[in-house]
Amino acid sequence: MTLDEIGYVVSQYTNVLDHPEEFNTRMNWGQNQLFYECIKNKNFELLEPFKYVRGENGTKPLTFVNGNCLLPSDYVYARGMYYLLDSKPIRVNMLSVSEYENFMVSALEYPTKEYPIANIISDRIRLLPKDIRFVVFTYIKKPDDIFYAIDTSLGYARYDAENSIEFKWSENDQVTIIMLVLESLGIVATREEINAKKK
């Protein structure tokens, strides 16, 4: 659904969201509720639209200096890492902080280029061995905020599809967002009822 179609459905329940600013605020709230619930439950199938790979399809890989690299600014959840050793992809084992610290002090299990390890701490990634420079990083990024734009060039307010920022969720997930937003306003609506109100 477009935001205009979502607005049409919501307007059949309440006029609270008639103003674009309120609509944008509440729909972004609903999107964040669903997004972080999916992260918490590791529902990666629903999060597929937000999966991003740094280092493939013409994007730059992460660059490590002395085993450290800042996380991308839109990073939310790591899905995997690998690097190329003599053109062969080598998976980087992602570890918890304690597991990573144990490797750092273990003379018997110190990571090698064939068995590298990484750990995310605060706003950066630590990687061993430290001489690996470029890593392909797959992660879940935060969804862009939606934006319901208005065009008044004809003397009245109408939906501006060209300047709006739409949801990237599936239509079924958009209905979930509508349900969350309506529920936050004290309105209970089933998925079937919402689907029946579409244009």
Q: How many structural domains is the chain composed of? A: 2
95, 125, 141 — which closes off a domain? 141
Question: Are 102 and 173 in the same domain?
Answer: no
How far apart (Å, rounded) are the C-alpha atoms in residues 26 and 6? 12
In this predicted structure, which of 33-37, 96-100, 183-187, 191-195 has the lowest mean pLDDT? 96-100
84: helix, coil or strand? strand
Question: Are 94 and 125 in the same domain?
Answer: yes
In this predicted structure, the answer to whether residue 103 has a pLDDT above a threshold of 80 is no
In this predicted structure, the answer to whether residue 108 has a pLDDT above a threshold of 70 is no
Span 50-65, average pLDDT: 95
This prediction's pTM: 0.86
How far apart (Å, rounded) are the C-alpha atoms in residues 75 and 65? 19
Q: Name the pLDDT band for 172 (thresholds 50, 70, 90).
A: very high
Question: Are 64 and 40 in the same domain?
Answer: no
Range(s) of the domain holding residue 173 = 3-44+169-196
